[in-house]
A and B are shown apart, each in its own frame.
Chain A
Amino acid sequence: MARRKLLGAVALAGVVALTAAACGSDDGSSSDGKKTITIGFQGVLSGDNQQLGINALYGVETAVAEANANANLPFKIRLVQSDDAGSPDQGPTAAQKLIDNSGILAVVGPMFSGATKASEPLYSQAGLLSVSPSATNPALTTLGFKTFYRVIAPDTVQGTADADYIAAVLKAKKVFSLDDKSDYGTGLSAALEKELKARGATVVHDGINPTKNYTSEATKIIAENPDVLFYSGYYAELALLSKALHDKGFKGVTVSGDGSLDAKYVEQAGAAAAEGTYLTCPCSDANSDPNAAAFVESYKKINGGARPGTYSGEAYDATNALIEVFKNLGDNLSRESVAEAFGKVNYQGVTKLVKFQPNGEVEGANDFIYRVKNGQIVVLGNTVDLIKS
């Protein structure tokens, strides 16, 4: 017995040593005399949704790397990450970690609405600014969070605009509205269905938790024979759904929201299955917008060739808006001054003009319609203009 225990202890020590050796320390104090400003990132970096977190984190890192390469800026940016796994349980710990670090002046995040609701009371209490790139639950700006802003429009904006487009331009009489039962999906489908019904369309609702098997769901959708299928969820699932529908010969039009606006959608569904799908977003898509080509290039360069994905552009804009604020404030940098000044920021980002209403909602979010044509996502235009013409 004694021998086993000893061996065990030795082996454990060995593992720990190996690990410790590998994780060298990384402190990023700048060497060229510039002062360093620290910002935090709170997002989904582990668990099933970590790809979305990585998209956003890479967006933040792109902005940070660009700022640090910019010789004209009087400061360097240092980034501290904090993982909340997208869950409300981990939210407070993740937020508190950033709050505890008194050098942190602002945070990009949290990402998911659930984690946001759990974390924001802490940020409000600490007076630390947090800018979410992706939390779209409409209620978030009504819960009394004092330092919460988001660079993405709430579900209601997108859902309503999409419904208008579907009714006015696609002239759909019957819409099958499918959501993924997530906070985001149910919020979007609820807003969409409300507006569609107001416009007199027949709506069939169904919800399905994210899965890989959409075979029988495809059967169900085809049996209903809708003009339009609207999926409220993310591209990974929409790709599988499109594939299943394509295999079974679905004749209707598929539309989905900003969670699906990602080049990976076409790649994963296959060009044939994705062809003709409408994707909408209250933002402009960096990959298809010629103005954002510089962003895509530098994103790819900084992140080992990865292309921007869902929420990358928003995170990039949020970070750049913060940097803009730091620049304007000069030496008067504190959590209070940053939180105070951020409400008045006016910065043209790659996804939208970052400018806020008093409640922290981004102003004048326009809903854009995209479509998959010949395997590429191309922009059709602004919903309002498309409906008018």
Chain B
Amino acid sequence: MGFADQFWQLTVDGLMVGSLYAVIALGYTLVYGVLQLINFAHSEVFMLGAFGGLFAARGLLPGGATPSGPASVGLVAAGLAVGAACGAAAAFILERVAYRPLRRRSAPRLAYLISAIGASLFAVNLAGKEFGRQNVPVPDLFTNGTLFHVFGAQVSTQTVVVLGAAVVMLVLLDRLVARTRLGQGIRAVAQDADTAVLMGVNVERVIILTFVIGGLLAGAGGFLYAMTFNASYNMGFVPGVKAFTAAVLGGIGNVRGAMLGGILLGLVESYGGYVFQASYKDVIAFLVLVGILMVRPSGLLGVRLGRAA
């Protein structure tokens, strides 16, 4: 039962989790790109999106047998949409409450970090109070089972749905940043906010929209995460730290870097947990991070958002 026998299975497992990390990491990287600050409350945006999607899917689910076919597709899409909307709303409120007032006062950068930690504590514990402290599984929206095999590795319906949705979101975001006017605005602010103002970019609007885009992704990612595992009030912290690590790994502020970092982190965890005692998998993940940063001090693709894509 060597590592080689299970390599492809572990790769499939790692890719699924890694794609989720990538989706969350984008929120960190976008906000970092335009504001140069770590949005520590992003993990709570993720959590609130997960609950939103969960409640929507549960509310729409007809009783009885597990749905299939178009009904499943519709339910997953609805969960993703509501999750994304909740994430966006949470991110918007977060920006208004915990960031904008500080920006008006030209607060030191670390003050944002602390207000984000405060907002995060508030949101986590309020969610615990409102929704209870138990884990809440998303009811089955489709029949999960092995769809096909790749090099002997089982690929489940779940994996296909998560990977598919994540890849679509990643591609959409990449195009958005690269092609649209908003994307141009984001890149302009990331590169040089002051010049961007002179060029007629509405910086406030770009900042808000950056938060909202990050929130959309995190909310949808949260729903996917809850669908794969389950939702709970404190579900955000660990994937939040992981996604932040992924963003740094790829080069923080870099959209494609965050994607790459997320996937890589998912794979490293999957392999590391197999080869060593599973409780060491975070140690291995962080050692890989340190190793990569030693060689490339600004991450794998270390260019800024402004020059990326």
A340 within 8 A of B: no
Interface residues in chain B, defined as those with a beta carbon under 8 Å from any beta carbon in chain A: 1, 5-6, 9-10, 13-14, 16-17, 105, 125, 128, 133-137, 140, 144-146, 154, 156, 158, 225, 229-230, 232, 234-235, 238, 269-270, 273-274, 277-279, 281-282
Given A213-B229, A215-B17, A219-B13; A239-B135 close (CB under 8 Å):
yes
Cα-based distance from A223 to B2 in the complex (angstroms)? 9
Cα-based distance from A225 to B17 in the complex (angstroms)? 24
With A4-B105, A219-B10, A220-B6 given, name 16 new contacts (CB 8 A): A48-B234, A51-B134, A54-B133, A209-B282, A211-B238, A212-B230, A212-B235, A215-B16, A215-B270, A216-B274, A217-B273, A219-B9, A223-B6, A248-B156, A264-B135, A268-B134
**List of B residues within 8 angstroms of A236 by Cβ:** 134-135, 232
A88 within 8 A of B: no
On chain A, which size bracket covers the interface? 20 to 34
Q: In the complex the two chains form, is B229's CB within 8 Å of A240's CB?
A: yes
Least distance between A78 CB and chain B CB atoms (Å): 25
* A309 and chain B: residue at smallest CB distance: B134
Q: In the complex the two chains form, is A216's CB within 8 Å of B10's CB?
A: yes
Cα-based distance from A137 to B95 in the complex (angstroms)? 46
A50's partner among B13, B128, B137 (CB-CB below 8 A) is B128
Cα-based distance from A269 to B66 in the complex (angstroms)? 15
Given A207-B279, A216-B270, A219-B274; A224-B134 close (CB under 8 Å):
no
**List of B residues within 8 angstroms of A217 by Cβ:** 273, 278
**List of B residues within 8 angstroms of A46 by Cβ:** 125
Q: In the complex the two chains form, is B279's CB within 8 Å of A216's CB?
A: no
A139 within 8 A of B: no
**List of B residues within 8 angstroms of A216 by Cβ:** 10, 13-14, 269-270, 273-274, 278
**List of B residues within 8 angstroms of A207 by Cβ:** 277-279
* B242 and chain A: residue at smallest CB distance: A213
6 contacts between A and B (CB under 8 A): A48-B234, A54-B133, A211-B238, A213-B229, A247-B156, A270-B137
Cα-based distance from A4 to B102 in the complex (angstroms)? 12
Least distance between A57 CB and chain B CB atoms (Å): 12
Q: How many A-B residue pairs have CB under 8 A?
A: 86
* A205 and chain B: residue at smallest CB distance: B277
**List of A residues within 8 angstroms of B146 by Cβ:** 249
Cα-based distance from A212 to B234 in the complex (angstroms)? 11
A329 within 8 A of B: no
Residues 41-54 of chain A, each 1 if its beta carbon lies under 8 Å from chain B, else 0: 00000101011001
B133's partner among A51, A213, A267 (CB-CB below 8 A) is A51
Top-7 shortest CB links A-B: A208-B278, A212-B229, A216-B270, A215-B13, A51-B133, A207-B279, A223-B1
* B276 and chain A: residue at smallest CB distance: A206
Cα-based distance from A221 to B133 in the complex (angstroms)? 29
Cα-based distance from A269 to B135 in the complex (angstroms)? 10
B230's partner among A51, A225, A247, A268 (CB-CB below 8 A) is A268
Looking at A217, A239, A247, A268, which has the most chain B CB atoms within 10 Å of its CB?
A247
